[in-house]
Structure 1
Amino acid sequence: MTETAIAWDTYSRQRPERRPVNAAGQTTWFNWTQYPDHGPGIELFETPAGARILDLGCGKGGNAAHLATLGMRTVGVDVSPRQLAAARERWGQTPGLELHQAEAVSFLRDDRMGFDAVYSVYGAVWFTDPALLLPAIHERLRPGGRLVFSQRPPVEGCYGCQASYIPRGADEDPLVVRRWDYEPHVWQQLLVAHGFRSVRTQVLAAPPGPRTVGTLIIQART
């Protein structure tokens, strides 16, 4: 197992399971943000039922499963065996859902069918070098296809490749993974440079309460 897979396996043990139902009583739902029952939904894709959609960094599979229940042909990819085991246990029988253990760029390079949309929710787009990932996504998106991703906005003055620390036991050093933090206008420049168009960026404010960190959401087309 790679160091990256070990890191995300460790992270998986620290994350709570998705609730049985959301505030609306739904058993599946889509969430772009780190906060429950907050933010937009699948309307950001603008794709019809039957579209082939790729989740890069699907984690425990909740978002991908929701798309499959709506008639999408959904493919979830993650490097963590533990995350995928949880996804298969809860959602593995969902018609239209495929789950694969793979690194994002490698999976895209091997795929031959193409996608109508690719998305990442605090996932692989945040944690993969965009110089490698963006051209791989662009090559696999069908004409007019959409890329949509969300992540935490960058901390002021801390841009580019940064370190994320995943804690372990009290006597163990934390695991380190890399992430790519850019201001919205820089993401726009990067996407345009790799052939994307109609780029839209927004920072969605956190819901009311003590929480203050919003969510950066970016949309683009081929």
Structure 2
Amino acid sequence: MSLAESWDRYAVASKPRRTVNATGDTTWLNWTQYADHGPNESVLGSVAGRRVLELGSGSGSNLAHLVTLGATGQGVDIAPARETVARERWGDLPGIAFRTAEATAFLKETDETFDVVLSIFGAVWFVDSDTLLPLIRLRMAPGGILAFSHLPPGSQGPKPAKSGLRHDRTPDEWGRTLTGHGFSDVRVSLIDPPEGRAVGTMLVRAFAA
């Protein structure tokens, strides 16, 4: 079974995202693995008028929220089922597009540049950094922001079968890796889990130097 087929099987079995969150919002950005928990899109600064790329866009809900705030969004996911779901739910939203592709293949093929690149439990966690990060940096506008989240290194959590190696790094390791690939002002936050849960979330931001 190919990597795309493995991720597609995982996508088909995944529970759909809610249509409304705890505060009654129909769109929102969620950095963590827990519902209604963690920071919102404000960690990116204003996204109005900015071009956003999400690598591992899933159902498209995070990207759609940014588009409702004035961004133009491109979502990329390796699983065909993800594109189908995203298009069905968000395809009528002006300024948003979805594509099935492996992250490095998309970045090699596109000639677009982006102001914001997101990866929420997505490609940055699963693709070799020495391959992926230079490609991301090449497609980023000067001063653009890369932001991604994943489980802290050494923590336990569900892993899709045959999904590939997770690239866990400590905050210091991410700092060295990102600066080594042309990023600056690396900021790493460890988000505490909600009460009753043991595992938090690592949120990393860096800027195109």
TM-score, scaled relative to structure 2? 0.94
Which segment drifts farther, 107-116 or 68-77? 107-116
Moved over 6 A (4+): none
The equivalent residue for 1:177 is 164
User: Would you say 1:219 and 2:195 are equivalent positions?
Assistant: no
User: Would you say 1:145 and 2:140 are equivalent positions?
Assistant: no
Q: Identity percentage over the alignment?
A: 45
Please list every run of 5 or more consecutive structure 2 residues that lacks an aligned counterpart in the other structure.
Answer: none
Number of residue equivalences: 207
Deviation at 1:179, TM superposition (A): 1.6
The equivalent residue for 1:208 is 195
The equivalent residue for 1:198 is 185
Larger radius of gyration between Structure 1 and Structure 2: 1
The equivalent residue for 1:54 is 53
Assess if the C-alpha contact under 8 Å between 1:47 and 1:116 holds in 2.
Answer: no
Pair 1:204–1:115, CA change in 2 (3 A)? same
The correspondence of residues 1-222 of structure 1 with structure 2, limited to 5 A, is 3-155=2-154, 165-166=159-160, 174-209=161-196, 211-222=197-208
Per-residue CA deviations over 1:50-85 (Å, capped at 9, x if unaligned) read 100000000111101111111100100001001111
Q: Distance in 2 between matches of 1:34 and 1:24?
A: 18
Q: Distance in 2 between matches of 1:30 and 1:4?
A: 27
TM-score, scaled relative to structure 1? 0.89
- Partner SS for 1:66: helix
Q: Distance in 2 between matches of 1:43 and 1:62?
A: 16
Q: Distance in 2 between matches of 1:208 and 1:200?
A: 25
Please list every run of 5 or more consecutive structure 1 residues that lacks an aligned counterpart in the other structure.
Answer: 159-163, 167-173
Per-residue CA deviations over 1:120-158 (Å, capped at 9, x if unaligned) read 0000111111001100011111010000000001117x9
Assess if the C-alpha contact under 8 Å between 2:125 and 2:166 holds in 1.
Answer: yes
Pair 1:151–1:111, CA change in 2 (3 A)? same
Aligned partner letter, 1:181: D
Aligned partner letter, 1:203: L
Assess if the C-alpha contact under 8 Å between 2:7 and 2:163 holds in 1.
Answer: no
